[in-house]
Each structure stands twice: as structure tokens, then as C-alpha cells.
Amino acid sequence: MKLRTGFLGLTLAGVVALASANAADMYVPGPAGYKDAPAPVQPWEGSYVGINGGFAWGASDRLTQNETYPDTAIGASASFSPEGGFGGGQIGHNWQRDHLVFGVEADIEGSSIGGSATVNPNSTTWAHGSSSLDWFGTVRGRLGYAFDRVLVYGTGGFAYGGVEDKLSKADPLTGSVSDNNTATGYVVGGGLEYAVAPAWSVKAEYQYIDLGKDTLSLDAVVVPKYLATLDADHAYSTVRLGVNYHILPAYEPLK
């Protein structure tokens, strides 16, 4: 009887030990409602400076030269669209509330945007017109949404730039007129910025800049009279790539 009781005790002890080992290896689910911690959002708040460069193309400008006296319906016209490269720098500041990023930015650009055309109503009469944007800048607001390292944003505000329009003619007397001034208008656009490091980001951006319109004209003082006209539309589409250096906020160490 003692032998049988001892054998039964050893058997029960083995079963308990085996069950305990299996229980230790079993997966135990977490408490109901448990979720992984959300991925951190790239901090965009703070000031930044950068450089950029790109290409622009303008709206269609029109050059005409028509006989006005005696009226024999002799004339010619041509259209051209200024285009060219530009480059400069920008400075700005962002504020961030969770994924929402809003801020202000200003940029200034030097450019080689220009175009011209010539018309010849007849062998002794011609007119030449040109239009250029020598430099420009903007002061804009920005509003975007951050997907970790990616910031997608819209932008818009005030634009200004140095425009120059020229018109010259011969019929057969020659003459010329020009208008060189700082024009103002508006800008709208949008872009995408990607943080390649905590303090560095790259961006691609489109801006539409409208600086208004200008008209130049030259009339003849001899017969037959030819009126030359240049209608310049200073509206430009711009695409650019840029690099920004972000001035990260300083944090005091824990005491």
C-alpha cells in the first residue's frame, strides 16, 4: 500500500510539473483594447533657411503692327511666351499642431525669363517687341499636413518682380519705347517637402505668379501710318527644387 501511494504521488507531481511548463510556453494575449504605439511624427516646427532653383514659362504676349492710314488692311502679328531659369533663396518659420503644419515663407529670385518676336508687314516696315522678368520675390502663407517625414502643403500670398517691356519699329522712320518697373500681384501654389535628416529637407514646388499686364504702342508720323502694339501679360508658371536647413529648437536638459 505504501509503494502504491508513493507511486501515485510521484505521478501527480510529474503531471503538475509538465502542465506548468506548457503553461509558461503558451501565448497570453494583452488586455482588451491594447494597440501598438503610434509612429512619431517628424517635427517641422521652427525656423529654416534654404536655396532653390527652377524653370518658368509665361503667358502668351502679342506683338502687332497694322496700317492705320490709308486703311488698306496691311498688317502682321505674332505671339511669344517668355521662359527661362531662375534661382535664389528662401526663409521661413513653421508652427505644428500634431499633423497640421502652418507657417510663413519669403523668397527672392534672380531670373533670365524672357522672350521676343518680330513682325514684317512689308519689306520696309517692321516691329520688334520683347518682355522679361529680371527678378521676383514672394511673401506667402503655408498650410500643410505632415505624414511623418513628408509634408504636403499649399501656399499663397503677395508677389512682386522687376519686369521690362520694349517695343521698337520702322515704317520707314524708326522709334522705340520701353517700360521698366517693379510690378506687384499675387502668387498661389503648392508643394511637397521631405525630411532627409532632422535638420535637412528637400522640396519640390509649383507656383503661379501674376504681376498684371502692360501695353506699349508706337504710331507713325508719316503716311502710310503703321501702329505697333505690344500686349504683355506678366503671368508665370514656375517649378522649382529646393533644400532647407531647419534651425532645431534648443531643449534644456532634465534636472
Domain contains 207: yes
CA 164 – CA 137 distance, rounded (Å)? 16
Q: What is the pLDDT of residue 3?
A: 38
Is 1 a member of any domain?
Answer: no
The predicted structure's pLDDT at residue 16: 39
Structurally, how many domains does the chain consist of?
Answer: 1
Q: Is residue 174 part of a domain?
A: yes
Q: What is residue 248's predicted lDDT score, i.e. its pLDDT?
A: 77
Residue 15 falls inside a structural domain: no
Give me the domain span that covers residue 114. Answer: 41-247
What is the structure's pLDDT at 19? Answer: 39
Q: What is the DSSP string of 146-212?
A: EETTEEEEEEEEEEEEEEEEEEEEESSSEEEEEEEEEEEEEEEEEEEEEEEETTEEEEEEEEEEEEE
For the domain that residue 181 is a member of, what is the CATH number? Answer: 2.40.160.20
Residues of the chain with pLDDT under 50: 1-28, 30, 33-34, 252-255
In one-letter notation, the amino acid at residue 140 is R
> Which pLDDT score is estimated for 75?
87
Q: What is the pTM of this model?
A: 0.80
